[in-house]
Amino acid sequence: NTKEPWRPFSSSRVYMADLESTLHYSLRVEVAAHTVIKGEKLISLKKYIAVLAKHFPGRTMVMNLLTSANSWLQNQTGEEISYEAFQEILDNSGQSPDTALPEAETWVGCQGSQPHFRRYPCGVWTLFHVLTVQALTTRDTDPKEVLSAMRNYIHSFFGCRYCAEHFENMARESVEEVNTVSSAVLWLWSRHNRVNNRLAGALSEDPNFPKIQWPSPEMCSACHTVTQNGDHKWNDNQVLLYLQSYFFFDKILSDYLE
């Protein structure tokens, strides 16, 4: 188990290598834990792939793969599919040129100081934010499409089961509030901060990447305001602008891609 070399990265940027690694892990490891996919899980998988095919801001090769996986899945009208059949599509067994999901796990912005820190869970949050921002950028009109697809994915497949349960409880409690695409972006941001708050100082926290209420004042001073009684208050409009710029597709870096 040789240690991978550290990949220098900017901690204020999003990397496509993390997003592709997340897709690889989710589709080839997490979903692969189910030999047969049916019922609620099949619905979750179809919605997840449909949202990815629509909103993932990926390279042409990856988009071709997601599009082909999406049309294959939407054509599966039976009650179940085998993972093996789905895997053939993922691996592009038909060998269409320029259609592929790379098999690498190349963590960059999601690297951890130890192999058990960060990586895939960090990638899932990043993917989730990118997709909500992408729905806003493309002026999608369905406010809950991305949240609902990701919520179902996490409920059906996310390997950390107590994480999935916590997330489902938060969603059940408050996702009703979301009625515009921008409120979906902000809902996800604020729930992620709640999770950060709960996990700050926990054993799962990478000491080199402490959990903060994100973005810090150094990252976005306009996001933070103080009320007359001296309490901290977020400026939601500024946070929204910050999220839109931070997760904007055209700013995602391609470093370390194969």
Q: How far is the CB of 193 from ligand FAD (least distance, A)?
A: 4
Partners of residue 36 on adjacent β-strands: 82
87 vs 155 by CB, closer to ligand FAD: 155
Instruction: Decide: is 199 part of the binding site for ligand FAD (CB under 6 A).
Output: yes
248-167-182 Cα angle (round to 5): 35
Q: How far is the CB of 113 from ligand FAD (least distance, A)?
A: 10
68 vs 196 by CB, closer to ligand FAD: 196
90 vs 186 by CB, closer to ligand FAD: 186
166 vs 224 by CB, closer to ligand FAD: 166
Site for ligand FAD in 148-187 (CB under 6 A): 154, 160, 162-163, 166-167
Residue with token string 């977020």: 234
- Measured distance CA(48)–CA(187) in Å, rounded: 19
Q: How far is the CB of 50 from ligand FAD (least distance, A)?
A: 20
Q: Per the structure block, which two tokens stand in for 231? A: 């309490």
Please check whether residue 37 is in contact with residue 31, taking contact to mean a CB–CB distance below 8 angstroms: yes
- Tell which one of 76, 183, 196, 235 touches ligand FAD (CB under 6 A): 196
Residue with token string 């500024």: 238
Q: Label each residue of 87-127 as H, E or C.
A: HHHHCCCCCCCCCCCCCCCCCCCCCCCCCCCCCHHHHHHHH
Instruction: Decide: is 31 part of the binding site for ligand FAD (CB under 6 A).
Output: no
Instruction: Decide: is 189 part of the binding site for ligand FAD (CB under 6 A).
Output: yes
The interface region with ligand FAD, picked from 59-67, 87-95, 197-205, 249-257 by CB under 6 A, is: 197-205
Whether the bond between 215 and the residue before it is cis, its omega within 30 degrees of 0, is yes
Q: Label each residue of 18-69 as H, E or C.
A: HHHHHHHHHHHHHHHHCCEEEHHHHHHHHHHHHHHHHHCCCCHHHHHHHHHH
The interface mask with ligand FAD, positions 87-126, x = CB under 6 A, is: -----------------------x-------x--xx-xxx
Please check whether residue 13 is in contact with residue 253, taking contact to mean a CB–CB distance below 8 angstroms: yes
64 vs 246 by CB, closer to ligand FAD: 246
Q: How far is the CB of 105 from ligand FAD (least distance, A)?
A: 15
What are the strands, taking DSSP E only, across 107-242? 224-226, 232-234
Please check whether residue 12 is in contact with residue 253, taking contact to mean a CB–CB distance below 8 angstroms: no
Interface positions with ligand FAD (CB under 6 A):
110, 118, 121-122, 124-126, 129, 154, 160, 162-163, 166-167, 189, 192-193, 195-196, 199, 202, 204, 206, 209, 214
